[in-house]
Every structure is written in C-alpha cells, then in structure tokens.
Chains A and B, each alone.
Chain A
Amino acid sequence: MDSKNKNIESDWGGGNRPMKASYGKLMMWFFLITDALTFSAFLGAYGYHRFTHFSDWPIADEVFTHFPFIHGHYPLFYVALMTFILIMSSVTMVLAVHAGHHMNKKGVIIWMFLTIVGGITFLGSQAWEWYHFIKGTEKGALLIPSGEHGQKRVAHYVGAHDSYHDDENHELKSLSQDQSLDLVQAEYLDGQAVPKDLLKKNDKGEFIYAEQIFGAPLTGEYAFRYNEYGHTTFSNFFYFITGFHGFHVFTGVLINIVIFINVLKGVYHRRGHYEMVEKVGLYWHFVDLVWVFVFTFFYLV
C-alpha cells in the first residue's frame, strides 16, 4: 500500500473527529438546527398572520395581565418571572456541565437537581398562564350575529353602565331596564359601533341577540372559532407555539431526570467523563433560547 492510499484511509477510514466533537454531540447540534428551523417556521407563520390581520390583532399587554395573588393590571410581570425561572435553570445546567468537566459528581447532582426543579416550576407557571388565558377576563366580550351565513363578530363593551350618579340627590342610582339599555354600548374590534338593537336585553337582563364570551375556549361550540381577545389566529398560535415549546420543556425535564438517575448511579463517573450531561445541557439551553424568542414575539412586540 503506497503512502497516498494510507493518507486517504487515515482521513476517511473512520475514527477521525474533524470537528473535534463526538458523534453524539454533533448529532445533538444538528438536531437543534432542525428544531430551530421548525420554531422559526412557526414564529414566521405567526408573523405572517399578524401582519395580514394587524388591524384586529390583540395587544399582548391587554391579554396577559394577571399575576398570582394580586388583583389588577400587571402586564409582562408574570411572563418576565417565567423567563427568569428558565434563564436561572439554564445557569444551573451550565454549572452542572462545568462540574462534570471537573469530575465533581456531587456538584453535578446538586446543579442538575436544581435544573429539574426549575423546569418543573416553569411548566407549572405555564399551566397557570394557560388557565387564565382560557378563563378570560371578568368582563369578557360580546358575540354578535353579523348576518352573514350565521357568522358572529366579537365586540367589546364601551361605557356599559348598570348605575349612574344622580347629581341632584348626590347618590348612586341603579338604572332601570330601559335606561340601561340606552347606555349599553359596544364596538366591534375594528372600532365600528355595534347597532343598538343588537344589544337589547330581556326582562331578566340577559342579551337577546348578543352572547357573552369569556377567554379563548378550548371546548364547546365556539372552541377555536371565537374568543374575547380578537383575531382567533392569535389564540390558536398561542396554544400551538407555547404548547410546542412547553412540550420541549417537558421532554427536557424527562431527559434530565434520566441523566440525573444515571449520575446518581455513578454511570458517568465510571465512564470517565460527563459528556451526556453536556449533550442534555445543549438541549436544555436550546429550550431556553427558543423561549427568549417566544417571549419577544408573543409578549413584547
């Protein structure tokens, strides 16, 4: 065998690492590229629909306003907390990888445990967020027949009153049925006023033509078709993209638990390196990376 063939064999005969990374790590990176493309396709599709319907697209500040144990209007705080939890769990993961490089088994155990706790906390927070998104606000919105093929349109109350201040007697008086009928006003999402006769109420004070709708229902007649926030595509994309991301977090937690058990059993210590922790770490950081983009495009922009 001449020297030329020998060179070819040493280059292409296997056993080489031209990228100085193991097979497993390389494949994790390439999987993450495909996953990044998947998520950018979803967020791109979201952007497409948002730009197409931007006149009746909901404003995130007015949709996500809840914070646990506090009443009132607190936009962005809760999702900022969720972002903080995920960044924090990313830091503990990187510290676990770091401890693994130094063959510090105890360090890996502590930091991986905290990472798992962070991941579960994030999932819980997301469940809470979804619950409030589905349940909706106290006021809700009105669903009004638009006359075309039994379709309905979503409208919001504008200055709807059940009582008024009587200036002569300086007291708050509740309105009679006829009076309040005059004062109930609503406008469609595009700002057009809703015709008054569509807002008529019966003796019991219920709307005759209009219906009340709360949140973004996942079940029942109006599931995925109407919601109080605005264009339905918004809530559908919200469920789909945050759901898909949440599923990534969920699988990340599961894989973390598997690796964590192996660390406890000392599998990687016997193997002589903690590269598995590094690989699952890559996945975990990627999940954090995706959340950074979801945070921007769903809540900020």
Chain B
Amino acid sequence: MGKENSTRQIWLVFWLLLIVTAIEVILGIIKPAFMVERRLIGVTLLNHTFIILTIVKAYYIVYSFMHLGSEKKNLKWSILLPVWVLIPYLLFILLTEAFYQHEMYY
C-alpha cells in the first residue's frame, strides 16, 4: 500500500484526533463567552465550532484509517456522494420543521 498507510501516518492521525478531541473538551468546559453569545442561523458559534471539528475528525478517520484516500476515484464517489446528498437533505428538512414547531407551540 506504499507510503500512504505507513505507521508514521497512522500515529500522526492518532495525535491529530486526540488533540482535536482535547480542544473540544476544553472548549466544552470553559465555554468562551463570545462563542456562546454569537449566533449563526440559530446555532451558537461554539456549536458551529464543535460540528466543524467533528467533521475534521470524521474526515481523517475515513480518509486515513478506512483507507478511502487510497481507493479508486469511482469507489470514493459512490461512497461519499449518497452520504453527502442524503444526510444534509434529511437534516435540513428535520431541523427547519423543528424550528417552526417550536415557534408554533411554545
């Protein structure tokens, strides 16, 4: 599998995942005021940060640990496309409706 899956890269990804998790935990404990107060599309800046960091972690797990980075292009797309299209669509529908429901009944 060549240099892409070398032991060195595995441990680099491990440290990256660990550091990102540590940053998430620290942010979750201190909850910086400016990140909690500012909101974008109804969600605090802190929560946006958490979601972005989670996607970063997910990217490295899939790309490196699951070796998707070294698969053929057509395999990559047939795995990623359904997930990228369906999940944001589902979340968009559910969360928009939830905002509406909250406004209607509370």
The residues of A with any CB-CB pair to B shorter than 8 Å are 18-21, 26, 29-30, 32-33, 36-37, 40-41, 44-45, 47-55, 61, 75-77, 80, 83-84, 87-88, 90-91, 93-95, 97-98, 101, 278, 281-282, 285-286, 288-289, 292-293, 295-296, 299-301
**What chain A residues lie within 8 Å of B102 (beta carbons)?**
51-55
Asked if B98 contacts A90 (CB within 8 A), the reply is no
Report B78 CB to chain A, min CB distance, Å.
Answer: 7
| Contact A49:B21 (CB < 8 A) given known A61-B28, A76-B29, A87-B14 | no
Measured in the bound complex, the distance between the Cα atoms of B94 and A44 in whole Å is 7
The residues of B with any CB-CB pair to A shorter than 8 Å are 1, 5, 7, 10-11, 13-14, 17-18, 21-22, 24-25, 28-29, 47, 50-51, 53-54, 57-58, 61-62, 64-67, 71-72, 74-75, 78-79, 82-83, 86-87, 90-91, 94-95, 97-99, 101-102, 105-106
Asked if A48 contacts B95 (CB within 8 A), the reply is yes
B10 touches which of A61, A98, A278 (Cβ 8 Å): A98
Measured in the bound complex, the distance between the Cα atoms of B17 and A88 in whole Å is 10
Report A35 CB to chain B, min CB distance, Å.
Answer: 11
B58 touches which of A19, A47, A97, A289 (Cβ 8 Å): A289
Asked if B87 contacts A51 (CB within 8 A), the reply is no
Asked if B28 contacts A45 (CB within 8 A), the reply is no
Report B56 CB to chain A, min CB distance, Å.
Answer: 10
Asked if B18 contacts A84 (CB within 8 A), the reply is yes
Measured in the bound complex, the distance between the Cα atoms of B102 and A52 in whole Å is 5
Chain B interface mostly: helix
In the A-B complex, list the 3 residue pairs whose CB atoms are closest, starting with the nearest.
A51-B98, A19-B75, A296-B54
Asked if B61 contacts A289 (CB within 8 A), the reply is yes
B28 touches which of A30, A47, A90, A300 (Cβ 8 Å): A300
Measured in the bound complex, the distance between the Cα atoms of B35 and A291 in whole Å is 24
Asked if B91 contacts A47 (CB within 8 A), the reply is yes
Asked if A75 contacts B74 (CB within 8 A), the reply is no
Asked if A288 contacts B99 (CB within 8 A), the reply is no
A76 touches which of B25, B53, B97, B101 (Cβ 8 Å): B25
| Contact A33:B82 (CB < 8 A) given known A51-B102, A75-B28, A91-B10 | yes
**What chain A residues lie within 8 Å of B83 (beta carbons)?**
33, 36-37
Report A148 CB to chain B, min CB distance, Å.
Answer: 16
